[in-house]
Amino acid sequence: MSLLKKLFGSDAPKREKPEVLMELRSPACPITAIVEQDNQVAYFYLWGDEDSDFGVKACWIRNLDEAPINADLKQMEEGIPPMLIKAYCRFPQGQIPLQADDLEIVWFEEGDGAALMEKGEVIAIIPSWAGMNGFSGYARDCVGEGDYCWELKSSNILLERVRKSKEYWQLWDQEINPFQMIQPQLLQQYEDNLGKSDQYFTIDGNEWPPRGLFLKKGEIKDVFVTVGLSLLPMPVAEMYSEDPNEINRIELGLLLNAGLSQAELNLIGSWISGQASIPWKRISWLGNGHTVTFNILKRTKMTSVVLVKHLNHLPDIQLENYRDSQVNILWMVPITEKERNYIIDHGFEPFSEKLNNIGSEIFNIDRNEINLSLNQDK
């Protein structure tokens, strides 16, 4: 083969239209995994829906023809999937085409990353942080750190994560699924700490994953707490914490002074059910100090809630870990627009001190706005 052909592929076989070998929707997020292959190269993709910020993430799997010495920039400009250059190929002469019947896609438990397996062996992984800093994903048949993938070494900790994820999804096929196991445990823990529930709502709209809402109406306070959100770890949380297992599983709670009408309680319950899917629908996460719009009760100045893990007057319910992760209740404390802007400008820490200073008024949706001066509180 001439150097000209090797460098620029001028006499290379004409690229055929890629064939989709496999396509699988994420069970949790608006993302689709796709395996495509033409006559020269195979790729693994994660495609976010058009209305998401996820975009498209692509990871090389293998060349089906002899690897070029240099990348074909012209083909890349035309949007043609590039072959991996020889310097990064474990099999520079090319490999046999993938067969759809040999393939399996395994989604991470969060639903924002996935692995591709061939005959039971992981051959490519696209984690949630792919697409950043020149990283596209891991491929078994890559050597070193190529432009379209990095080498998937046997020591890569994601391999164990793939195994655990596959195990997790298989649990949902059992006669007693994870929700049926965890629901009574959570309800018992809530009742032990908050009192016996008055109402229980199903808030999943008859779609997977199953979720519920606990409501305890009291003489002094009404309390809502979700049931089952923690079965799924939140997407991308691992990108914001050195130990994501401390923050990636949540339930949402809301405590308000008693006296709301049943119609208002129903409205709040419906609103909470909508917030329960935020992390997965938006491919995001919720944590201590985050704010969410709360504009359902027109009679109050409270237009948002701030999510709080600990405050002096909030219940401190210690939930059991699930699959090696801590389960946290994030309490939704109603706040005004001005208070929300203060959190954005100054961070949550100084505002949490102000919330502690007003004590049980945090449960009063008709309370006065907090004094936001830096030196004094009401």
The three state secondary structure string of the chain is CCHHHHHHCCCCCCCCCCEEEEEEECCCCCEEEEEEECCCEEEEEEEECCCCCCCEEEEEEEECCCCCCCCCHHHHHCCCCCCCCHHHECCCCCCCCCCHHHEEEEECCCCCCEEEEECCEEEEEECCCCCCCCCCCEECCECCECCCCEECCCCCCHHHHHHHHHHHHHHCCCCCCHHHHHHHHHHHHHHHHHCCCCEEEECCCCCCCCCEEEEEECCCEEEEEEECHHHCCCCCHHHCCCCHHHCCEEEEEEEEECCCCHHHHHHHHHHHHHHCCHHHHCCCCCCCCCEEECCCCCCCCCCEEEEECCCCCCCCCCCCCECCECEEEEEEEEECHHHHHHHHHHCHHHHHHHHHHCHHHHHCCCCCCCCCCCCCCC
pLDDT of residue 378: 42
* 244 contacts 127 by C-beta, under 8 angstroms: no
Q: What is the pLDDT of residue 12?
A: 55
What is the per-residue pLDDT for 14? 80
Determine the pLDDT at residue 374.
60
Q: Which of 270, 315, 250, 289 is nearest to 110 (CA)?
A: 250
Digit-coded pLDDT (tens) for 363-374: 999 999 999 986
Q: Which amino acid is at 215?
A: L
Helices 337-346, 348-357: crossing angle, 10 deg rounding: 130
Q: What angle do CA 55, 59, 61 make, to 5 degrees?
A: 150
Residue 9 backbone zone (phi > 0: left; psi -120 to 50: alpha; other: beta): left
Q: What amino acid is encoded at 107 in this protein?
A: W
Q: pLDDT truncated to tens, each residue of the chain (378 aa)?
A: 433 344 344 455 688 999 999 999 999 999 999 999 999 999 999 999 999 999 999 999 999 999 999 988 787 788 889 999 999 999 999 999 999 999 999 999 999 999 999 999 999 999 999 999 999 999 999 999 999 999 999 999 999 999 999 999 999 999 999 999 999 999 999 999 999 999 999 999 999 999 999 999 999 999 999 999 999 999 999 999 999 999 999 999 999 999 999 999 999 999 999 999 999 999 999 999 999 999 899 889 999 999 999 999 999 999 999 999 999 999 999 999 999 999 999 999 999 999 999 999 999 999 999 999 865 544
Tell me the residue type at 103.
L
Whose structure tokens read 């709301």?
A: 260
Distance CA 34, CA 44 (A): 6
